[in-house]
Amino acid sequence: MITLRRADERGLADLGWLVSRHSFSFSDYHDPAHMGFGNLRVINEDRIAPGTGFGTHGHRDMEIVSYVLEGALAHRDSIGNGTAIVPGEVQRMTAGTGVRHSEFNHAEQATTHFLQIWLLPAAAGLAPGYEQKAFAPTERRGRLRLVGAPDGRDGAVTLHADALLYAGLFDGPESARLVLPPGRLGYVFLARGMLTVNGRALSEGDAAAFDGEPAIELSGGQGAEVLVFELAPR
């Protein structure tokens, strides 16, 4: 079964300095039909206004992945990391037993546009951790590049969650196919452009959830930037 989730069906939080679209229930947005998918709990598409950001706040027992689409995201945390994340980079923060961090857009004029992704960890009470890696456009062009995996294989960031995360860029005749092992779930989030997913047309912000399907097939991209998950059922 393939279930589509259109961009305009998502939850919306507009705080002035932050505009956030929630694919799943988050904060003041609650939808019992969209509490997550498998062990994927959050996909928030956030736009942070210049000179603003999230003040220091805490997390626990969650794998948090940040994927920047435009601008830069300054990160500082209680375990000693202070970095900026830019397009093409993937950041993983293991909240584990507890971590505090802030995220900020220091630009004077540019908006920071990024995806905040939460995955349920494979175990509770992990030691907090942090990892950040860059993946050039050439690595993602016309293919699904593994960018997150439990064993960190192929240069991916290490996820302490039973999930694989791929990123791809697709235009024109470029295509890709990802086989889903029996019992595994798939989730496609189209961050930019247009893309055909198993014969269904997706536009920016749309998503497709796969349950009991043998494969995910991507084609017909028009400026498409996509994230694809292979997930464990909860």
What does the block give as tokens for 1? Answer: 């079964």
Two tokens at 40? Answer: 């994927």
**The residue to which tokens 């505090």 are assigned:** 100
In the prediction, which pLDDT does 57 show?
72
Tokens of 227: 């994230």
Rounded to whole angstroms, how far apart are CA atoms 108 and 89? 22
DSSP H helical segments within 108-162, as ranges? Answer: 137-140
At residue 43, the pLDDT reads: 97
CATH class of 2-231: mainly beta
% of the chain exceeding 90 in pLDDT: 77
pLDDT value of position 101: 66
From CA 37, how far away is CA 31, in angstroms rounded? 13
- Cα 220 from Cα 172, distance rounded (Å): 6
Q: Give the single-character DSSP code of 138.
A: H
What is the rounded CA–CA span in Å between residue 184 and residue 43?
Answer: 19
Half-sphere exposure (Cβ direction) of 83: Cα atoms closer than 13 Å = 16
Which residue stretches of 63-163 are H helix? 137-140
Residues in the chain, total: 234
* Contact in structure between 48 and 39 (CB atoms under 8 Å): no
Q: Where are the alpha helices (DSSP H) in the chain?
A: 137-140
Q: What is the pTM assigned to this prediction? A: 0.95
* pLDDT at 107 (0 to 100): 82
The separation between CA 223 and the C-alpha centre of its own chain, rounded to angstroms, equals 18
Beta bridge partners of 99: 59
The parts of the chain modelled with pLDDT lower than 50 are: none
| pLDDT for res 24 | 96
Structural tokens at position 183:
């019992």
- pLDDT tens track for 26-50: 988 999 999 999 999 999 999 999 9
Read off the pLDDT of residues 72-89 as tens digits, 9 standing for 90 and up.
Answer: 988 776 676 778 899 999
195/82 Cα distance (integer angstroms): 35
Q: What secondary structure letter does DSSP report for 6? A: -
